[in-house]
Amino acid sequence: MEMNGARIIIECLHEQGVDTVFGYPGGAVLPLYDALFRYGKMKHILTTHEQGASHAADGYARSTGKVGVCIATSGPGATNLVTGLATAYMDSSPVVALTGNVAVPLLGRDSFQEVDITGITMPITKHNFIVKDVKELAHTVRLAFRIAREGRPGPVLVDIPKDVETSLCDYVPLQPLEPRKNRYPSPQAFQIAADMLGQSERPMFYVGGGVIRSGASRILQDFLEQVDAPAAVSLMGGGAIPVDSPRCTGMLGMHGTKVSNMSITDCDLLVVIGARFSDRVISDADRFAPQARILHIDIDPAEIDKNIGTHCHLVGDVGQVLEGLSKTIGKKLKHKAWMEEIARRKAKYPIRVSHESRRPKQIIDAISTQLPRGSFVCTEVGQHQMWASQFLKHVEPGHFITSGGLGTMGFGTGAAIGTQCGNPTARVVSIAGDGSFKMSCNELATIARYKLPIVIFLMNNHTLGMVRQWQSFFFEKRYSETTLDTKIDWVMLAKAFGVHGMRLSVNDDPEKVVKEALEHGGAVVVDCEIPIDDLVYPMVAPGAGIDNMLGVDEVTD
């Protein structure tokens, strides 16, 4: 059947099972929006800003496991997607961005609203395309979806000149392209890894977001039981292991637990699964796991030996690899003395909550206690993000949606929109800081427009808290441009957008206010006042070894 390029795009989206797209119209995508209006059977969410659309597509992808889709026009519309694409790229989130561009004859002529968006996004996408011939359009869109979801997921951008959207071409429907098979380790590699685990007396696991992307959390938990070992999680790995498990030592790295960092320093074998040795995890590479041999399991061969040298690596889908390794080991290992030492350390070194983080912990404890099973928690970036990662009780893997690799302030509100759209019956909350929320509060208009029952808990300390914390520790308390003393009434601002606003003062009972907010039934912004100098502890100073931590309280009784 002959149809124009814009309709071909819509038909290809239907082929891929897309039910929701996020975007903002403009001149270069008018044919696409016309086709969406005339032929689309999917929901379009009009965000307030293109960056919000990219974060929403990302949140949708992370929370559903599907590919998130966002649309933007040429020029500034396309460049407004850049931060969101970089965020998705750093955290391995499958997103397809469709951008319009000027007509093919106008490319490269500095035409109105023209940018080389494929050149701009080349370093921050898994792949990108510009389609200059309508005959290549359907195959390119299909290929973009396959690339986004296969192997290590990531964002893909397809740039479509306006005349390609209006050109005619025969369209033949096809089933989605099958992803290519993942690499799988050799029997010899499995045996080397099994021998390393069998010879170890103090094995320690470092678990990253790849476990969640793979859907391998249950497999990992069974494997930890088989090899009788503890595990620490990265920020992106939060929820991969139940926090109340005796095997879970909490987060590791700059704001990790003393138990995790100390145990990684003391272990004789470090098994790294679906993680990339981020600098926020390893700090001083020369002092990271100095006594350990390293076994790295990851789907992306580019991550092997990139930051830390390994003694053995298994490249492949982590769930499939763990199942293969389990069969190779073939028996239950025992590390009783090591697990008893881990238990002693967990009792001796709790996360510090004396006065530096008491109020944030009280608020997050109240949120965690009252959220129903199956809820999703999104965050912005900063101190509140670290407190959430430390104190939240993650109920299920993949339900903690945060920007890890890029650390994008302004991520949380858009991500919550995408998460709620992808999970309409689930409770979605966003934990934000006042600095981050100022960058994304315009998306309250989107929340109100679509009546999304998102509850935003605004941890309001009237400062850029994490930056101020660094200024306190390392810049002799010179608080250069980090105090947010603009008098913003967040409750009134929420009401201006048509969203319910509430206050939680430092003297209010968090349980009562959180309960009221969650029972409201609609969108709510809760302005939670916290002291300006509440700190995130523990903390590793830049350049220090991860076992050299500031702010650790020891239980001696």
**How do beta strands 95-101 and 68-72 pair?**
parallel
3-state SS assignment for residue 324: helix
Give the residue numbers annotated as catalytic, written as ranges: 50, 112-113, 162, 466
Angle ∠(303,306,311) on CA atoms, nearest 5: 90
Closest to 270 (Cα-Cα) out of 229, 321, 228, 242: 229
Q: Are 81 and 50 in contact (CB under 8 A)?
A: yes
Closest to 51 (Cα-Cα) out of 422, 440, 451: 440
Structure tokens of 134? Answer: 């309508």
Token match 């002092």: residue? 287
Region of residue 365 (left: phi > 0; alpha: psi -120 to 50; beta: else):
alpha
Q: Are 298 and 275 in contact (CB under 8 A)?
A: yes
Per-residue three-class SS string for 165-213: HHCEEECCCCCCCCCCCCCCCCHHHHHHHHHHHHHCCCEEEEECHHHHH
Q: Within a 13 Å sphere around the CA of 70, how many CA atoms are in the beta-carbon half?
A: 37
Sign of CA dihedral 285, 210, 426, 250: negative
